[in-house]
Amino acid sequence: MTKQQWEVSMIRYCEHVGHSIALEVKVVYPPEYMPDHPPRVVARRCSNAMECNKMDKVTCAWCGTNPDYRPF
């Protein structure tokens, strides 16, 4: 059976919110009977995305509101 989990890929300082945030990736690991396949990244998110999405202005691609701006 495959295993999915969120892992922290990097921690960066975000100028938009004024503190450090964690950039996370959702990794899907292959089942035990398919050990030759590498893990796959299926999603990305920011640990502060909920707070950023409540603000009036668009933020960045990690929060999902501005796909053209990638600050990191």
User: Do the domain assignments include residue 22?
Assistant: yes
Rounded to two decimals, the pTM is: 0.72
Q: What is the pLDDT of residue 72?
A: 66
Residue 4 or 68, more confident? 4
Give the total number of structural domains in the chain: 1
Range of the domain at 7: 3-47
Write the pLDDT tens digit of every residue in 17-60. Answer: 888 999 999 999 988 887 788 999 998 888 888 888 887 777 77
Instruction: Identify the pLDDT of residue 62.
Output: 78
Q: Is residue 39 part of a domain?
A: yes
Burial 35-55, CB ≥16 within 10 A → b, else e = eeeeeeeeeebbbbbeebeee
Q: Which residues pair with 15 in a beta bridge?
A: none
